[in-house]
Structure 1
Amino acid sequence: MFLEILLFLFLGIAFGMITGLIPGLHPNTIFILVLSLAFVFTSFPVHCMLAFIISLAVSNTFFDFIPSILFGAPEEDSVLSVLPGHRMLLKGRGYEALFLTVMGGLGVMLLTISSLPALFYFLPLLYNTIKPVMHILLSLVVLWMIFTEKGKRRLYAPPLFLFAGILGFLTLNSLPSEQVLFPALTGLFALSTLVTSIITKIKLPPQKKTFEIKERWLKGSVTGWLAGMLAGLLPGIGSSQAGIIAAQVLRAKLKDFLVALGGINTSNIFFTFIVFYAIGKTRSGAVWALSQIIDTISIFDIALVFAVGFVACMISGILTIKTGGLIIERIKNINYTRMMLFTLSMLLFLVFAFTGIPGLIISLTGMSIGLLAISLGIKRTHLMGFLLIPTIIYFSGLNPFFLNMLL
């Protein structure tokens, strides 16, 4: 049994690498595909499938930072890393940016495992306390985001946030989320960044392979851990929304923020399993997949989740740095403008392949809003109004009112 579990753990890591490196290919797609093949999960022991699900979900949270940092091609979970991560790449610090996200993932894993007994007790209490006022807390975060802008940009930020929010509310309430998130976030962040890089003919500088490791980055891990807890605990709050909160906590601290982003994604995965065990709520595709093969999750299953998760984190962290390093070595000899053109073309193709004409329209609309933010010099975190406004409306209970008004 041990060798079989180990085999499925490595298989999950391999698939996690694939889903992480290919923008638009989500782990949930693999879960649905595997579970639709009845002979697959009936032919193997349940705990082998558990190891596959956990290792795939965990490893994906590490590898999906590679395309977002190096090419500006995000997934929902890594979209905010396009901004500081790509900026560090253009300053010759791509290795460091990738290392920071890995450090965050490993840090929250250790924090989560060390605090497990307390989490089982406190999470249900926290859930019942925060959920009724979540829309108020998020609204305060939005106001703070706008307040941090200076001069005329403080006047430009609210309408830009609103434009992105209206796009999010209309599309997320008209189409399945899997047909909306990839094209919208690609347009808002990736395409706008790529078009700007192509127009300005940015050149990729030599990448530094050595950098300092400072203990103060622990702050980023703790922030990522807490934000990931929020994402794993509450419906409608994903890694992106949690990342917005982390951005405000760690404002102007680039390295800490990247550590936090790496931590949010990984802790979110772990917390969704804790929440499933503690209060019986399904908060992620990985937990849903697990619920299809296990009727009742036991303490042994949770122990296996964290044992597999620990090994997957360690291996994925090493492989992410190695893989990212190899890619950086290759792209430094390539014309960066041509590479951006290729990436732009590839993303448009993937948007069309996965979501069709509606996806292209959403993506190009998002790109227009993203380019407006760049031209006005506004922080592009305001573009996360795409997710924040629908989330605030959801928690406030006003969804039917706005749907009747706008649709």
Structure 2
Amino acid sequence: MDLGVTLSSDPSFALQALAFVLGGALLGTLSGLTPGLHANNFALILAGMAPLVPGPPLLVGAAMLSAGVVHTFLDVVPALALGVPDADMAVMALPGHRLVLEGRGYEALRLSAMGSALAVVFAVPLAIPITLVMVEAWPTLVEHMALVLGTVVAIMLLTENSLSGLVGGLLAFSISGLLGVAALDLDPAAPLHGDILAPLFAGLFGAPILVDAMGGDGIPEQTDDTITIPRRAVLLPAAAGAVAGAVVGYLPGVSSAIAAVIALLALPGSSGDRGFVIATSGVNTANTIFALFALVALGAPRTGVLVAVERAEVPLNLPVLLSAVAIAAAIGFVLVLVVGDWYLRAIGTVDYAKLCVVILCLLVGLSYLFAGAVGVVVFLVSALIGFVPTRFGANRVHLMGVLIVPIGLWYY
């Protein structure tokens, strides 16, 4: 396996590389803090502009990875601050939202930052041995990919603890899968780079949370930022999240939330909402590292950022790109603590219903920018489907059928 490793000790190149990484971190900060806007969108725009950017393609790739990593740290901030339902709906809320409703939003931010940072620490040494194993196993996985994805779906459905949740999960998976089959092949004309995934995910996962939150009281007063679980309860979910990140990095259609749920099932005892926040954040960040190795070893980009890296014909120099990931992770960790607390306080002072309407309008606007009028229609249809799991008391991760079904059919 050629990992593309070359070393250099050029101070001017190092300074130039740092400037690109910082620029990417700024883009990742903007995308991470903006609901519905993903680092993938910035990466695809960068890929299209790569020939016009003054600098080597390798450093453009470093900026893309930096944006993606910082985004994985900061996307928890709007996820916690926006779409928090009324206390009476806490049972249907996501784990992070439940912590905010309990006044533990600052703690949730720190748990997320720790999960992401520890995932980088665990993932880097694990990446090479896991990649070597995956290179050997990949032909067999490809041959049985439909079965592998079907097994993942079955495990997810079996995590539902009620008949209603099981029915709702199956219904959400089926309908979102049909939506994915119908929408993913669309190539809409749009003001920006065509990206049908933006309205799909904004509708499925963003709009329903905001609509349900409009009748709530917004963010309650948050208490102190003390981590209330023992160190072991932080390390285990983070390690599990890092390993699960390999699954996301190599298996198409498997989301961070799905991998986190499966990872937590393997842990002794229950980590609760805090463990889920740690593991999901860990999966999300570790995924970038494993996806980079997957691209180097298998030529298979598994994230939008890595697709953009491939399109921009970025040289796969692992020391430089992994250094960019490490620096971006340090920046992201600090930003979560600094910006996250301020974000929660600021959101808590505004009219929550009006804020939800503004964010919904923003999502409609982004859908149009990235997919034109077709994107707006896809967003509205996706939003309706996005209400299905919560109305049955099921987990929202079943909506990932939007990717799993089309990918499974393609491999089948």
TM-score per shorter chain, which class? 0.7 to 0.9
Deviates more, 1:250-259 or 1:227-236: 250-259
TM-score of the pair, normalised by structure 1:
0.83
- What is the alpha-carbon distance in structure 1 between the residues aligned to residue 62 and residue 166 of structure 2? 48
Cα distance change of structure 1 residues 329 and 209 upon mapping to structure 2, 3 Å threshold: same
Query: Which structure 2 residues correspond to residues 8-407 of structure 1 after superposition, within 5 A?
Result: 8-37=20-49, 40-41=52-53, 43-72=54-83, 83-147=94-158, 148-175=160-187, 179-199=195-215, 201-211=216-226, 212-214=228-230, 215-239=232-256, 242-243=259-260, 245-246=262-263, 249=266, 253-291=272-310, 297=316, 301-395=317-411, 397=412
Q: How many Å apart are 1:327 and its aligned residue?
A: 1.0
- What is the alpha-carbon distance in structure 1 between the residues aligned to residue 235 and residue 277 of structure 2? 12
- Identity level (%): 28
Equivalent position amino acid for 2:306 in 1 = V
Q: How many Å apart are 1:124 and its aligned residue?
A: 0.8
CA displacement, residues 182-211 of structure 1 (integer Å, 9 cap, x when unaligned): 222222222212222223x33421112323
Structure 2 unaligned spans of 5+: 1-11, 85-92
- What is the alpha-carbon distance in structure 2 between the residues aligned to residue 168 and residue 289 of structure 1? 21
CA displacement, residues 65-103 of structure 1 (integer Å, 9 cap, x when unaligned): 222222149xxxxxxxx8222232222222222222221
Cα distance change of structure 1 residues 346 and 51 upon mapping to structure 2, 3 Å threshold: closer
Q: How many Å apart are 1:122 and its aligned residue?
A: 2.3
Equivalent position amino acid for 1:3 in 2 = L
Higher RCO (C-alpha under 8 Å, 6+ residues apart): 2
Cα distance change of structure 1 residues 110 and 47 upon mapping to structure 2, 3 Å threshold: same
CA displacement, residues 227-267 of structure 1 (integer Å, 9 cap, x when unaligned): 22122223444546545644655787322221121112211
How many residue pairs align between the two structures?
383
Matched-pair contact (CA < 8 Å) for 1:127–1:234: no
- What is the alpha-carbon distance in structure 1 between the residues aligned to residue 297 and residue 370 of structure 2? 35
- What is the alpha-carbon distance in structure 1 between the residues aligned to residue 272 and residue 140 of structure 2? 30
Q: How many Å apart are 1:121 and its aligned residue?
A: 2.7
- Which has more helix, going by share of residues? 1
Equivalent position amino acid for 2:103 in 1 = G
Matched-pair contact (CA < 8 Å) for 2:81–2:347: no
Matched-pair contact (CA < 8 Å) for 1:62–1:102: yes
Residue 204 of structure 1: SS of its match in structure 2?
coil
Cα distance change of structure 1 residues 166 and 21 upon mapping to structure 2, 3 Å threshold: same
- What is the alpha-carbon distance in structure 1 between the residues aligned to residue 181 and residue 365 of structure 2? 25
Cα distance change of structure 1 residues 377 and 122 upon mapping to structure 2, 3 Å threshold: closer
Deviates more, 1:247-256 or 1:353-362: 247-256
Cα distance change of structure 1 residues 292 and 190 upon mapping to structure 2, 3 Å threshold: closer
Q: How many Å apart are 1:269 and its aligned residue?
A: 1.1
Q: How many Å apart are 1:307 and its aligned residue?
A: 2.0
Cα distance change of structure 1 residues 124 and 210 upon mapping to structure 2, 3 Å threshold: same
Residue 115 of structure 1: SS of its match in structure 2?
helix
Cα distance change of structure 1 residues 330 and 225 upon mapping to structure 2, 3 Å threshold: same
Cα distance change of structure 1 residues 23 and 155 upon mapping to structure 2, 3 Å threshold: closer
Cα distance change of structure 1 residues 380 and 329 upon mapping to structure 2, 3 Å threshold: same
- What is the alpha-carbon distance in structure 1 between the residues aligned to residue 400 and residue 271 of structure 2? 18
Q: How many Å apart are 1:151 and its aligned residue?
A: 3.7
Equivalent position amino acid for 1:164 in 2 = S
- What is the alpha-carbon distance in structure 2 between the residues aligned to residue 283 and residue 52 of structure 1? 18
Equivalent position amino acid for 1:259 in 2 = I
TM-score of the pair, normalised by structure 2:
0.82
Equivalent position amino acid for 1:163 in 2 = I
- What is the alpha-carbon distance in structure 1 between the residues aligned to residue 360 and residue 285 of structure 2? 28
Equivalent position amino acid for 2:279 in 1 = A
- What is the alpha-carbon distance in structure 2 between the residues aligned to residue 154 and residue 25 of structure 1? 31
- What is the alpha-carbon distance in structure 1 between the residues aligned to residue 22 and residue 342 of structure 2? 21
Q: Tell me how large the CA RMSD over aligned residues is.
A: 2.9
Q: How many Å apart are 1:20 and its aligned residue?
A: 1.7
- What is the alpha-carbon distance in structure 2 between the residues aligned to residue 161 and residue 47 of structure 1? 39
Cα distance change of structure 1 residues 38 and 241 upon mapping to structure 2, 3 Å threshold: same
Equivalent position amino acid for 2:174 in 1 = L
CA displacement, residues 334-356 of structure 1 (integer Å, 9 cap, x when unaligned): 23233223322332333234333
